[in-house]
Amino acid sequence: MDLTLLLQGIVSGILASGLYALVSVGLALAIGVIGIVNFAHGEFFMVGAFITYQLFISFGFDPVISLFFVAPTLFLLGGAIYQSSIRYVLKAPELNQMLLTFGISIILQNLALLIWGGDPRTISSVAYRSIGYQLGGVSIGLVPLASFLISLVIVGSLYYALLKTPAGRAMRAVAQNRMGASLIGLEVNRVYLVTFALSALLAGLGGVMIAVIQSPTPIVGFAFTLKAFAIVVLAGLGNIRGILWASLVVALSESLVATLVPNGDALRNAVFFAIIFVVLIARSRRLA
Amino acid sequence: MSILQAQGLSKKFGGLDAVSELSFAVEAKEIFAIIGPNGAGKTTTLNMISGLIKPSAGKLKLNGQEISIKDSAERCHLGLGRAFQVVQPFPEMTVEENVLVGALFGKSGVSEATGRKLAQEVLKQTGLLALKDTPAEELTLLQEKRLEIARALATQPKVLLLDEVMAGLRPGEARQAVELVKNIRNKGVTIVFIEHVMPVVRDLADRVMVMDYGKKLAEGSYQQVTNNPQVIEAYLGAEE
């Protein structure tokens, strides 16, 4: 086996894991705190990517600056979707919840298709897009490296906020015991609203990065919903602490399959499904 | 003026009248016991007071303010605290953080620093200070019950509702719990509690309300109600 290729696969996997953690942690929040399985999570990611693209095309905004526009926009979008639909199905059977979020996902995808069409959209003229470093035959792009570091900072801040700020304590309290939380004065519905909006914000920030890393189309969200589900399932549904290592495992598996297996690039999505299958089967065997 | 008033409080579950036309008033700084056989509607009453279930009819006033249409969180902000028979802790948080969360959100505008100070006092008062860094899921039953009371106290309630907090405790532990409840009242908190253990009711209650089949059967001092022939027949007599 080619050692350089292996190293390249490992490095690429590690760099991708940051972005994966950023997107998955939002999904884990929605599942862990609100208990809603959100199939539209990847669409928040996609919307973040296309807002970044549009801001670049219309106003020449650097994607780094777009982070500060996308964050509040996606927070509001997430909040609006929660208030107008999600909150009404919280007590409904899970199938209804999934169908609703699936419907939201289709609406957002098709709105994006209407506005931007189906072609990949590239932010080509930012100077740093082509900068890369060579380390003993392994190439490291500046953009993946920066997205890895920015993602880690955001996820790290989120972990800190969850542990140490009043809002974070409120989210954990509601996640651990909803009735207990309402009896000590926590407005559970408000906590849900903020959590869902925050979940959309986190996915949107990931979208900003993918707008530079790849050339997204309106269906890019689905791939990331799938990745996020594989990670969330591996970490344990709703387990926020487990997201970091689970992201690393999933990103490394994907990257190694893509670089080492012949025609492996076409098998990327199969990796996520395989992880979901294996974890779910292993868990249910342990329960049985 | 009474601090807590119920007028014509009723709850139907399907065709069953779990509670019907219940009226009572609790005075400030009183220890008020609700007793009665299983299925008498005691916990349903407490659930209506704390806002976990909506009454089918009737009114509730806290400090003269109508609270019937407010949700649990709002009632907590207005001064209603609740501790459960089946404890409701945040299992993955430490004892201290459980209490801190109560302090932070029980009243609006409590800062982290104030919350911590309040949590510290409550932990001391409830004898949990030594356990403050223990995760709630590792506590014994007695400790869990203390935590349940501590967290409710941290919300700075005017009225504290206790739902069979003595259930499952050994006699020595129950005595400690009785002391704790007295101590809480002496700090100015009104107590409304449900209890099956009669010596505890005798030692604690200023006034006792007896319920049976969702209705009030009797009300008065422990002596008065336990000598009431109707009560003896419906409740005490049935136990022998």
CA distance A70 to A49: 9
Helix, strand, coil shares of chain B as percentages rounded to 5? 40, 25, 30
Domain check: are B209 and B223 in the same one?
A: yes
Using the predicted structure, report yes or no on whether residue B100 has a pLDDT greater than 70. yes
Q: Output the CA–CA distances (angstroms, integers) from residue B151 to B85, B97, B105, in the order listed.
A: 14, 9, 11
CA distance B207 to B218: 11
CB contact under 8 A, A173 and B82: no
Please check whether residue A187 touches B, CB under 8 A: yes
Nearest to A185 among B97, B105, B112 (CB): B105
Quote the number of domains for chain B. Answer: 2
| Residue of B1, B8, B55, B9 lying closest to B30 (CA atoms) | B1
- Give the predicted TM-score (pTM) of the model: 0.90
pLDDT in tens, A79-110: 999 999 999 999 999 999 999 999 999 999 99
CB contact under 8 A, A176 and B152: no
- For residue B222, what is the domain's CATH number? 3.40.50.300
CB contact under 8 A, B93 and A173: yes
ipTM here = 0.86
Q: Given this model, what pLDDT does residue A117 score? A: 92
CA distance B31 to B221: 11
Q: How far is B106 from chain A (nearest CA, A)?
A: 5
Which residue, B156, B172, B198, sits at the end of a domain? B156
- pLDDT interval class at B240 (50, 70, 90): very low
Which residue, B156, B190, B214, sits at the end of a domain? B156
Determine the structural domain holding residue B111 and report its residue range.
87-156
Domain check: are B9 and B61 in the same one?
A: yes
Which residue, B109, B124, B156, sits at the end of a domain? B156
Edge to edge, what strands does the sheet with B57-62 contain? B16-26, B4-13, B57-62, B65-66
pLDDT in tens, A115-146: 999 899 988 888 888 888 988 888 899 999 99
Domains of chain A: 3-287 (1.10.3470)
Q: How far is B49 from chain A (nearest CA, A)?
A: 11
User: In this structure, what token pair is assigned to residue B145?
Assistant: 């019950």
Domain check: are B134 and B187 in the same one?
A: no
Domain check: are B166 and B141 in the same one?
A: no
